[in-house]
Chain A
Amino acid sequence: MKIQKVKKGILPVLLIAALYGIPFCVKNQYMLRIGVYVCIYSILACSLNLISGVCGQVSMGHAAFYGIGAYASALVAIHFGINWVVCVIAAAIAAGVIGVLIGIPALKLSGGYLVICTVGFGELVRLILLNWVSLTRGPMGLVNIPRPVLFGVTIKSGSQYMVVALTLFLLIYLILHNILNSKYGRNLKAIREDEIAAETMGIHVHREKVIAFAIAAAMAGAAGSLLAHYMLFISPTIFVGDFSTNILSMVVLGGMGFMPGSVIAATLLTVIPETLRGLDKYRMLIYGFLLIGLMLGKNVSWETTALGRWGAGIWGKIRQRRGLKEGDGKV
């Protein structure tokens, strides 16, 4: 038993070590920049996955919380010159509190009505960021956002920032992982599976939804902070509805409710458009087709293809060797 547990623990440790290896081995600034974005988008996708994938409440306003976090963090840093760690916390709290305020009425709605409501909320936030000029400087955006200073070190280089982004991402991923395996996580899954049944079990359906929405919002807020202090400039054009759709695509592509999938999809959907840059005007066209292809491919049941059968056979043998029964550890 113990040995198996240790074996199970080794893989994540190796994976994390490899991830931390990236900023130390890669010297190309452009690659590191993509790395930072992958971390930020992974946080966004994983947090949206909590409310939309795990709990089944589809939101199309996630970019708004990202924006609220970015502005909150930047404003706190600019006006009060506080340490970045406090700024991230402020960003998470600001987005989380607004998440609660919006979530309480919005999560009374379901399905398409909730989607429309969250789209409206996203647009509202964008318009506020654009028009509250005295606070946000409107379309001119916020400039001169201070770089983070951690343990007396100013985080300047791409590799330094990658370490910071990766750490925040891993922290958030760990929190989500623990939530999914907790009693609360099971409640969220039950709500997604059947709301009426969840209620008759004694689960406080509305309250649990609002909490999940607030957690997701707070995490998106933290991602916003990560962006603001990396770009050093933010404007309302970043936090538009299109971007909310992008985040949702990552969640859908990665698999609703499946956290590692969200990370993989966030990586793919960040890297693919970048690698297509050379193709210039065909770039978005190809990206669009690829996205459709990926979505279609995702729904192919791999067991029915030759490659899938081959893979399933090998996987079965591995499991047999490790002494696992059929059906163990399935979601």
Chain B
Amino acid sequence: MLLEVKGMNTFYGNLHAIWDIDIQVEEREVVALIGSNGAGKSTLLKTIAGSIPMERGSMVYDGKSFGPGYGRKASMMVKMGMTLCPEGRHIFPRMTVEENLKMGGYTRKKGELSAGYDRVYSLFDRLKERRSQPAGTLSGGEQQMLAIGRALMSSPRLLMLDEPSLGLSPLLTEKIFELILEIRNQGTTILLVEQNAVSALSVANRGYVLKVGHITGSGTGKELLESQEILDSYLGG
């Protein structure tokens, strides 16, 4: 098991955002987390990544256990091969495409960077054409590709993608999901948050349904796609 979360709780001040979450991610799986707006999906990813502290619960990642509190930092998790590609792109607009990728490889040694560029450019040929262009001038879709490519530069073992299809055309969304499978086939485990439940579940091995901070369902991608649960939770029933 690559990641096991047990009884995770996160608060924003007095707001109890996620409650007693248990999730498991096996090596080389694509796991989808779905749920409506404000369900706490991003909060869960950020807590796992260590950018907001876990109030109660525990987590085992790559054989190491972590307890609650402020001790675990995001920078530490990236070094351990856990990379979050945050919701809403967050590229560095005034840096060029290649500089963005270079920042992505921040935790890597200099010698390992060129292999990283090769991997990203072979996945996203568009980025190669635009390598010396400021990232802020890319189209929305290209920026999303850059955000994913940049996250890959840290050669993560666990890549967490927060709504990669946000604001993309249906065609590009399909392409992104194809790429997600390709990245998985290259050996990277993926934890995927999506609004686009149907697409997400069709590429996922397994999925969890999150509803106002609680997990209300889980199963294989196929099971969830066929269940009433999805219709209820996802369409806000």
| A-B complex is real | yes
Contact yes or no, A202 B79, CB < 8 A: yes
Which residues on B sit within 8 Å (CB–CB) of A197? 86, 90-92, 103
A200 to B151: give the CA distance in the assembly, Å: 8
A220 to B219: give the CA distance in the assembly, Å: 60
Q: Determine if B104 is an interface residue (Cβ-Cβ < 8 Å).
A: yes
Which residues on A sit within 8 Å (CB–CB) of B85? 200
Within 8 A of B (CB), among A309-324: none
Q: Determine if A106 is an interface residue (Cβ-Cβ < 8 Å).
A: no
Q: Determine if B94 is an interface residue (Cβ-Cβ < 8 Å).
A: yes
Q: Determine if B49 is an interface residue (Cβ-Cβ < 8 Å).
A: yes
- Residue with the greatest number of chain A CB neighbours at <10 A, chosen from B91, B94, B107, B151: B94
Q: A201-B103, A202-B106, A203-B106 are in contact. Are A194 and B90 (CB under 8 A)?
A: yes
Q: A186-B103, A190-B103 are in contact. Are A200 and B92 (CB under 8 A)?
A: no
Q: A193-B94, A193-B95, A196-B86 are in contact. Are A201 and B106 (CB under 8 A)?
A: yes
Q: Determine if A152 is an interface residue (Cβ-Cβ < 8 Å).
A: no
Q: Determine if B24 is an interface residue (Cβ-Cβ < 8 Å).
A: no
Q: Determine if B69 is an interface residue (Cβ-Cβ < 8 Å).
A: no
What is the predominant secondary structure among interface residues of chain A facing chain B? helix
A162 to B85: give the CA distance in the assembly, Å: 52
Instruction: Indicate which residue in A193, A196, A202 contacts B107 across the interface (CB closer than 8 Å).
Output: A202
Could you give, for residues 23-43 of chain A, a 1 whenever the CB lies within 8 Å of some chain B CB and a 0 otherwise?
Answer: 000000000000000000000
Which residues on B sit within 8 Å (CB–CB) of A202? 74-75, 78-79, 83, 106-107, 154
Contact yes or no, A204 B73, CB < 8 A: yes
Within 8 A of B (CB), among A157-214: 186-187, 189-190, 193-194, 196-204
Shortest beta-carbon distance, B80 to chain A, in Å? 10
A39 to B236: give the CA distance in the assembly, Å: 65
Q: Which residue of B lies closest to A198 (CB)?
A: B103
Shortest beta-carbon distance, B193 to chain A, in Å? 14
| Total number of A residues with any Cβ neighbor in B under 8 Å | 17
Q: Which residue of B lies closest to A326 (CB)?
A: B132
**Total number of A-B contacts with CB less than 8 angstroms?**
60
Q: Determine if A327 is an interface residue (Cβ-Cβ < 8 Å).
A: yes
Contact yes or no, A201 B104, CB < 8 A: yes
Q: Determine if B84 is an interface residue (Cβ-Cβ < 8 Å).
A: yes
A274 to B59: give the CA distance in the assembly, Å: 64
- Residue with the greatest number of chain B CB neighbours at <10 A, chosen from A193, A198, A204: A193
Contact yes or no, B92 A194, CB < 8 A: yes
A199 to B90: give the CA distance in the assembly, Å: 11
A-B contact pairs, 22 of them (CB 8 A): A186-B99, A193-B93, A194-B91, A196-B86, A197-B90, A197-B103, A199-B51, A199-B74, A199-B75, A200-B49, A200-B51, A200-B78, A200-B83, A200-B85, A200-B86, A200-B90, A201-B104, A201-B107, A201-B150, A201-B154, A202-B75, A327-B132
Having A189-B95, A194-B92, A201-B103, one finds 6 other A-B pairs with CB under 8 Å, namely: A186-B99, A186-B102, A193-B95, A197-B103, A199-B51, A204-B73
The 10 tightest CB contacts between A and B, nearest first, are A202-B78, A197-B90, A193-B92, A202-B107, A204-B75, A201-B106, A202-B75, A200-B84, A194-B90, A199-B74
